[in-house]
Amino acid sequence: MKATLDTYNQSPRKVRLVTDLVKGKKLPQALAALSFLPKRASEPVAKLLQSAAANAAQQGEKPEELVVKSITVEGAGMLKRYMPRAFGRASLIRRRRSRVHVELASAPAKAK
């Protein structure tokens, strides 16, 4: 199942540090890792994973058997403002935003 976080007010570079931690992990292990991670983006990413798990539960999948198949972070535009500086100049402040896409898949069956 898929879920998307459209506009999150943090730079994509910082959010990728969090999402790289959970790629390829099973859903319970990914949520446990995010709960102990002291990064600001860990809470919204955890909520996004729970949303994707709820979407999967609506389709009849078992959330504890899901794996984070792919999770991508891209830029979602930026808010531009100007800050006054010395000698009548102005400098640009670029407030970056992120868009996060996650896709969960069923874990492959283990061969015996």
Q: Is residue 112 part of a domain?
A: no
Which domain, by its residues, includes 77?
2-106
pLDDT digits (tens, 9 = 90+) for 59-72: 888 888 899 999 99
Q: Is residue 102 part of a domain?
A: yes
* CATH number of the domain encompassing residue 24: 3.90.470.10
Ranges of H-type helices in the chain: 12-22, 27-35, 42-58
Give the per-residue pLDDT at 10: 94
Q: How many residues does the chain have?
A: 112
Q: Is residue 111 part of a domain?
A: no
Q: Mark 54-85 as b/e (b = at least 16 C-beta within 10 Å).
A: eebeeeebebeebbbeebebeebeeeeeeeee
- Copy the structure tokens of residue 63: 């959330």
Counting the structural domains of the chain, the total is 1
Q: Is residue 70 part of a domain?
A: yes
Type and span of the H or E element at 90: strand 90-106
What is the pTM assigned to this prediction?
0.86
